Amino acid sequence: MSESDGQNQVENASAEASRVARDALVGKLRRSGLRPTRQRLALAEILFDGKDRHVSAEWLHEIAKGRGAGVSLATVYNTLHQFTGAGLLREITVDSSRTYFDTNTGDHHHMFLEHEDRVVDVPSNAVSVNRLPEIPEGMELVSVDVVVRVRPKAAS
């Protein structure tokens, strides 16, 4: 086999893996009740690459632009909220001006590192919530989300 034949086999295998991954994302979106549009697929490829991550809309927009996705920031926000509504993401509001989206939708809490503008996971068993207010009649408890905010200690 020549060197160019070997290179072609590698390229073909890479293209096949990419097609399989894209087909899996199409299925994931459809199972969640979302139409797999070009924009949704472009953002889903970034978000659901197998790694748990916490992203801001601005970060996702920059990455998508860098990959030539051609999506507006408004489309990114809308898509993140659609993915959240479909149960594919979890929204983490750190304060009134900062929201992150978590690809790990399992039971856990978060720590916000103020000095890094970064969110990290905290296992659910590392936080104990011993008392909750009485739930109003006709309402049900959906979840308890804890965000622990930290920053470096000030020099003494």
Q: Are 19 and 36 in contact (CB under 8 A)?
A: no
**Domain ranges, ordered by start, for the chain:** 3-150
CB burial class (10 A; 0-12, 13-18, 19+) of residue 47?
Answer: buried
Q: Are 48 and 28 in contact (CB under 8 A)?
A: yes
Radius of gyration of the chain (CA): 20
Identify the bridge partners of residue 118 per DSSP, sorted by sequence position.
113
Provide the pLDDT for residue 60. Answer: 97
| Chain centre to alpha carbon of residue 154 | 32
pLDDT level of residue 1 (50, 70, 90 thresholds): low
CATH of 3-150, one of 1.10.1040.10, 1.20.140.10, 1.10.10.10, 3.40.640.10: 1.10.10.10
pLDDT tens readout for residues 60-93: 999 999 999 999 999 999 999 999 999 999 999 9
Length, in residues, of the chain? 156
Provide the pLDDT for residue 4. Answer: 61
Can you tell me whether residue 113 is helix, strand or coil?
strand
Give which of 45, 44, 119, 37 is closest to 83, Cα–Cα: 44
Provide the whole-model pTM.
0.81
pLDDT tens readout for residues 11-65: 555 566 677 788 889 999 999 999 999 999 999 999 998 889 999 999 999 999 9
